[in-house]
Structure 1
Amino acid sequence: MGIGGSILLIVVGAIMTFGLDDTDLGPFNLDTIGWILQIAGLVGLVLTLYFWNTRRRAVPPPPPAAGTAIPPTADEIVERRTRRY
Protein backbone atom coordinates (compact mmCIF):
# COMPACT_ATOMS: atom_id res chain seq x y z
CA MET A 1 0.00 0.00 0.00
CA GLY A 2 2.81 2.41 0.81
CA ILE A 3 3.07 5.41 3.05
CA GLY A 4 1.11 7.69 0.72
CA GLY A 5 -1.85 5.34 0.41
CA SER A 6 -1.93 4.80 4.17
CA ILE A 7 -1.93 8.51 4.91
CA LEU A 8 -4.65 9.03 2.30
CA LEU A 9 -6.86 6.43 4.00
CA ILE A 10 -6.29 8.06 7.39
CA VAL A 11 -7.15 11.53 6.05
CA VAL A 12 -10.28 10.40 4.18
CA GLY A 13 -11.42 8.45 7.24
CA ALA A 14 -10.88 11.44 9.52
CA ILE A 15 -12.85 13.68 7.16
CA MET A 16 -15.70 11.16 7.08
CA THR A 17 -15.67 10.75 10.87
CA PHE A 18 -15.15 14.29 12.12
CA GLY A 19 -15.97 16.57 9.20
CA LEU A 20 -19.46 15.50 8.16
CA ASP A 21 -22.63 16.48 10.00
CA ASP A 22 -24.96 14.01 8.28
CA THR A 23 -23.67 10.65 9.49
CA ASP A 24 -26.23 8.44 7.76
CA LEU A 25 -26.18 7.70 4.05
CA GLY A 26 -29.01 5.25 3.58
CA PRO A 27 -28.05 2.00 5.33
CA PHE A 28 -24.43 3.16 5.83
CA ASN A 29 -23.11 5.03 8.83
CA LEU A 30 -20.33 7.38 7.66
CA ASP A 31 -18.78 7.59 11.14
CA THR A 32 -18.24 3.83 11.17
CA ILE A 33 -16.84 3.82 7.64
CA GLY A 34 -14.49 6.67 8.61
CA TRP A 35 -13.18 4.77 11.64
CA ILE A 36 -12.65 1.64 9.54
CA LEU A 37 -10.68 3.64 6.95
CA GLN A 38 -8.53 5.21 9.66
CA ILE A 39 -7.73 1.83 11.23
CA ALA A 40 -6.93 0.32 7.83
CA GLY A 41 -4.62 3.25 7.04
CA LEU A 42 -2.87 2.94 10.40
CA VAL A 43 -2.33 -0.81 9.95
CA GLY A 44 -1.01 -0.22 6.44
CA LEU A 45 1.36 2.48 7.68
CA VAL A 46 2.72 0.28 10.48
CA LEU A 47 3.23 -2.67 8.13
CA THR A 48 4.94 -0.50 5.52
CA LEU A 49 7.34 0.97 8.06
CA TYR A 50 8.04 -2.48 9.54
CA PHE A 51 8.93 -4.02 6.18
CA TRP A 52 11.03 -1.00 5.18
CA ASN A 53 13.10 -1.32 8.36
CA THR A 54 13.63 -5.07 8.08
CA ARG A 55 14.93 -4.95 4.52
CA ARG A 56 18.55 -5.99 4.24
CA ARG A 57 20.82 -3.93 2.12
CA ALA A 58 23.72 -5.72 0.47
CA VAL A 59 27.01 -3.88 0.63
CA PRO A 60 29.15 -4.49 -2.45
CA PRO A 61 32.72 -5.63 -1.80
CA PRO A 62 35.47 -3.09 -2.34
CA PRO A 63 37.13 -3.10 -5.75
CA PRO A 64 40.40 -5.04 -6.05
CA ALA A 65 43.69 -3.20 -5.99
CA ALA A 66 45.26 -2.33 -9.31
CA GLY A 67 47.20 -5.17 -10.89
CA THR A 68 45.66 -7.99 -8.85
CA ALA A 69 43.52 -10.75 -10.27
CA ILE A 70 40.03 -11.32 -8.94
CA PRO A 71 39.83 -14.82 -7.43
CA PRO A 72 36.89 -16.91 -8.66
CA THR A 73 33.97 -17.55 -6.36
CA ALA A 74 32.51 -20.96 -5.67
CA ASP A 75 29.82 -20.39 -8.32
CA GLU A 76 32.24 -19.58 -11.14
CA ILE A 77 33.90 -22.16 -13.33
CA VAL A 78 37.49 -21.46 -14.24
CA GLU A 79 38.45 -22.77 -17.65
CA ARG A 80 42.00 -22.70 -18.85
CA ARG A 81 42.63 -23.14 -22.52
CA THR A 82 45.94 -23.88 -24.13
CA ARG A 83 46.73 -23.15 -27.71
CA ARG A 84 47.67 -26.06 -29.89
CA TYR A 85 49.62 -25.28 -33.05
Structure 2
Amino acid sequence: MRLGTGIVLLALGAVLTFALRVDVSGIDLRVVGWILMAAGALGIVLEVAVWGPKRRRVTRTDAYVDPAAGAPVRRSTTEETR
Protein backbone atom coordinates (compact mmCIF):
# COMPACT_ATOMS: atom_id res chain seq x y z
CA MET A 1 0.00 0.00 0.00
CA ARG A 2 1.39 3.36 -0.96
CA LEU A 3 0.89 6.68 0.79
CA GLY A 4 -1.80 7.85 -1.62
CA THR A 5 -3.81 4.67 -1.12
CA GLY A 6 -3.70 5.13 2.64
CA ILE A 7 -4.93 8.71 2.33
CA VAL A 8 -7.78 7.65 0.01
CA LEU A 9 -8.84 4.88 2.40
CA LEU A 10 -8.75 7.29 5.32
CA ALA A 11 -10.84 9.88 3.48
CA LEU A 12 -13.34 7.33 2.19
CA GLY A 13 -13.74 5.87 5.67
CA ALA A 14 -14.31 9.34 7.13
CA VAL A 15 -17.01 10.03 4.54
CA LEU A 16 -18.74 6.74 5.28
CA THR A 17 -18.52 7.24 9.03
CA PHE A 18 -19.32 10.92 9.50
CA ALA A 19 -21.00 12.32 6.38
CA LEU A 20 -23.22 9.58 5.04
CA ARG A 21 -26.64 9.06 6.58
CA VAL A 22 -27.96 6.03 4.67
CA ASP A 23 -29.44 2.85 6.10
CA VAL A 24 -28.46 -0.27 4.20
CA SER A 25 -29.90 -3.59 5.30
CA GLY A 26 -27.34 -6.14 6.36
CA ILE A 27 -24.36 -3.77 6.58
CA ASP A 28 -23.44 -0.96 8.93
CA LEU A 29 -21.69 1.73 6.88
CA ARG A 30 -20.30 3.39 9.99
CA VAL A 31 -18.43 0.22 10.94
CA VAL A 32 -17.16 -0.13 7.38
CA GLY A 33 -16.00 3.49 7.56
CA TRP A 34 -14.12 2.90 10.80
CA ILE A 35 -12.45 -0.18 9.31
CA LEU A 36 -11.39 1.77 6.22
CA MET A 37 -10.04 4.61 8.36
CA ALA A 38 -8.05 2.14 10.47
CA ALA A 39 -6.65 0.44 7.36
CA GLY A 40 -5.73 3.82 5.84
CA ALA A 41 -4.05 5.04 9.04
CA LEU A 42 -2.12 1.79 9.34
CA GLY A 43 -1.04 2.07 5.71
CA ILE A 44 0.17 5.63 6.21
CA VAL A 45 2.12 4.72 9.35
CA LEU A 46 3.74 1.72 7.66
CA GLU A 47 4.65 3.73 4.58
CA VAL A 48 6.28 6.49 6.59
CA ALA A 49 7.93 4.39 9.30
CA VAL A 50 8.98 1.23 7.51
CA TRP A 51 9.24 1.89 3.80
CA GLY A 52 9.89 5.61 3.95
CA PRO A 53 13.52 5.78 5.09
CA LYS A 54 14.92 3.95 2.06
CA ARG A 55 17.12 6.83 1.04
CA ARG A 56 20.25 7.47 3.00
CA ARG A 57 22.77 10.18 2.41
CA VAL A 58 26.35 9.31 3.31
CA THR A 59 29.05 11.97 3.28
CA ARG A 60 32.67 10.90 3.34
CA THR A 61 35.56 13.34 3.73
CA ASP A 62 39.07 12.35 2.65
CA ALA A 63 42.10 14.38 3.62
CA TYR A 64 45.48 14.01 1.94
CA VAL A 65 48.54 16.05 1.05
CA ASP A 66 48.80 17.22 -2.54
CA PRO A 67 52.34 16.45 -3.67
CA ALA A 68 52.38 19.28 -6.23
CA ALA A 69 51.19 21.99 -3.86
CA GLY A 70 52.57 20.55 -0.65
CA ALA A 71 49.40 21.55 1.17
CA PRO A 72 46.65 19.46 2.76
CA VAL A 73 43.60 18.93 0.61
CA ARG A 74 40.12 17.80 1.67
CA ARG A 75 37.63 16.13 -0.62
CA SER A 76 34.03 15.47 0.37
CA THR A 77 31.95 12.86 -1.42
CA THR A 78 28.21 12.57 -0.90
CA GLU A 79 26.43 9.37 -1.90
CA GLU A 80 22.71 8.83 -1.83
CA THR A 81 21.62 5.23 -1.47
CA ARG A 82 18.20 3.64 -1.72
Confirm or deny a common fold (TM above 0.5).
yes
5+ residue gaps, structure 2: 61-82
Structure with larger RCO (C-alpha < 8 A, sep 6+): 1
- TM-score normalised over the length of structure 1: 0.61
What residue in structure 1 maps to residue 73 of structure 2? none
TM-score by length of 2: 0.63
Residue number in structure 2 paired with 1:57: 56
Instruction: Find the aligned partners of 1:46 and 1:37 in 2 and give their Cα distance.
Output: 14
1:18 aligns with 2:18: yes
Question: Which is greater in Rg?
Answer: 1
Paired residue total? 60
What code does the residue aligned with 1:8 have?
Answer: V
Runs of 4+ in 1 over 6 A off after TM superposition: none
Does structure 1 residue 3 correspond to structure 2 residue 3? yes
Q: Mark the runs of 5 or more structure 1 residues left unpaired by the alignment.
A: 62-85
Letter aligned with residue 8 of structure 2: L
Bigger strand fraction? 2
1:57 to partner: Cα distance? 3.1
% same residue? 39
